[in-house]
């Protein structure tokens, strides 16, 4: 774990991320808050590309909780059986759709606690929805952000909650909204788990990681 970078280094890093990609976007396809919740819930231990492939057909027929209930668990399972853990995920999607219809008038609630009370929705999923749909500076820490945060010292921490707190505490306010996507994209395409692309990394001179791949 690298030690926490100082304010000036973090500001310089995010200025470079912003210059390279001013409006970073998540890669999970969705058409409304509900389909975003479903897509994120389906994405645990699966790739965004794999989820998108399955949800294109699914969301064409079921883009609301009521339509999902009408489709039924077998119809849902047919669409998502290429995704890992699909049986458990299908059960959760049906249960959360039922709760949304019965308790929230078919709408998706937008507090972290209410989102986390839904089956299959953890803190990370709730933060993705709050950030991507509601524009709240909520920081969903996935495996990429955890790795990048600790290697670079942008937001080091021994567990995901510590990394989430470090992002909130150390990343300047003007970068908070997009921090999640910049860090994910950096981890996914440059600061990869094995063989990070340090030679072409745009923050190489600011990164203190001792085992750079040069």
Annotated binding site for [4Fe-4S] cluster: 191, 198, 201, 207
Tell me the C-alpha distance between 126 and 118, whole Å: 10
Please give the size of the binding site for ligand SF4, defined by CB under 6 A. 13
Decide if residue 179 touches ligand SF4 (CB under 6 A): no
Decide if residue 203 touches ligand SF4 (CB under 6 A): yes
Ordered alpha helix ranges (H), 43-111:
48-61, 65-80, 86-104
**Smallest gap, in angstroms, from Cβ of residue 209 to ligand SF4?**
4
Q: Which residues contact 194 (CB under 8 A, 6 or more apart)?
A: none
Tell me the C-alpha distance between 158 and 146, whole Å: 9
Q: Find tokens 């489709």 and name the residue.
A: 71
Count each helix (H run) and each strand (E run) in the chain, helices first: 10, 0
Decide if residue 94 touches ligand SF4 (CB under 6 A): no
Site string for ligand SF4, 108-147 (x = CB under 6 A): ----------------------------------------
Closer by beta carbon to ligand SF4, 133 or else 209: 209
Nearest to 139 by CA among 153, 125, 118: 125
Tell me the C-alpha distance between 60 and 123, whole Å: 27
Closer by beta carbon to ligand SF4, 114 or else 198: 198
Residues annotated as catalytic (active site), given as ranges: 124, 142
* Cα distances (Å, whole numbers) of residue 206 to 14, 159, 167: 11, 23, 17
Which position among 36, 152, 166, 175 is part of the footprint of ligand SF4 (CB under 6 A)?
Answer: 152
Count CA atoms closer than 13 A to 44's CA, side-chain side: 18
Closer by beta carbon to ligand SF4, 65 or else 196: 196
Decide if residue 153 touches ligand SF4 (CB under 6 A): no
Which position among 53, 81, 158, 212 is part of the footprint of ligand SF4 (CB under 6 A)?
Answer: 212
Decide if residue 198 touches ligand SF4 (CB under 6 A): yes
> Which residues contact ligand SF4 (rule: CB under 6 A)?
151-152, 190-191, 196-198, 201, 203-204, 207, 209, 212
């Amino acid at each position: 774990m690298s030690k926490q970078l100082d304010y000036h280094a973090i500001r310089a890093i995010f200025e470079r991320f912003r210059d390279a990609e001013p409006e970073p976007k998540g890669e999970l396809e969705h058409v409304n808050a509900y389909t975003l919740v479903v897509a994120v819930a389906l994405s645990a231990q699966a790739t965004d590309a794999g989820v998108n492939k399955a949800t294109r057909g699914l969301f064409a027929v079921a883009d609301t909780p009521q339509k999902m209930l009408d489709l039924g668990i077998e119809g849902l399972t047919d669409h998502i059986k290429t995704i890992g853990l699909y049986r458990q995920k299908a059960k959760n999607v049906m249960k959360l759709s039922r709760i949304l219809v019965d308790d929230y008038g078919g709408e998706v609630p937008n507090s972290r606690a209410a989102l986390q009370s839904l089956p299959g929705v953890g803190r990370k999923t709730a933060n993705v929805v709050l950030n991507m749909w509601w524009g709240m500076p909520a920081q969903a820490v996935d495996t990429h952000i955890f790795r990048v945060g600790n290697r670079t010292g942008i937001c080091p921490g021994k567990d995901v909650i510590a990394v989430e707190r470090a992002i909130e505490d150390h990343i300047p306010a003007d970068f908070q909204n997009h921090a999640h996507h910049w860090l994910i994209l950096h981890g996914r395409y440059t600061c990869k788990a094995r063989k990070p692309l340090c030679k072409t990394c745009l923050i190489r001179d600011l990164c203190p990681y001792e085992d750079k791949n040069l």
